[in-house]
Amino acid sequence: MSKRRNSIMSYQLKEQIAQELGFAGTLQQEGFGGVSSRDCGNMVKMAIELAERNLPGNNMT
C-alpha cells in the first residue's frame, strides 16, 4: 500500500488561491475531484510564484 504524503501547502492556502483563481465554489462543493487539471495546474503555478517571492534574499518585485 502506498504511503500518503503530508501536504506542503495548507488547506487554507489552497482555498485562498482557489478563491483568487475563481474556482473556490467548485472546491468547496466537490473537493479536488471536481477541480479541472488546468485549474489545479494554475493553482500550483501561483503557489510556486508565491513561494519564490517569499524566499529570503529574493529582491524580485
Segments forming the whole domain that contains residue 28? 11-53
> Does residue 5 lie within any of the structural domains?
no
Q: Establish if 60 belongs to a structural domain.
A: no
Instruction: Please list the alpha-helical segments (H only) found in 1-61.
Output: 11-21, 24-30, 37-53
Total number of domains in the chain: 1
pLDDT, tens digit, 9 for 90 and up, residues 29-59: 999 999 999 999 999 999 999 999 988 876 6
What confidence tens digit (pLDDT) does each residue in 16-26 have?
999 999 999 99
Evaluate whether 46 touches 17 at the Cβ level (below 8 Å).
yes
Q: Identify whether 45 is part of a domain.
A: yes
In a domain, 2, yes or no: no
Comparing CA positions, the residue from 20, 52, 21, 48 lying closest to residue 36 is 21
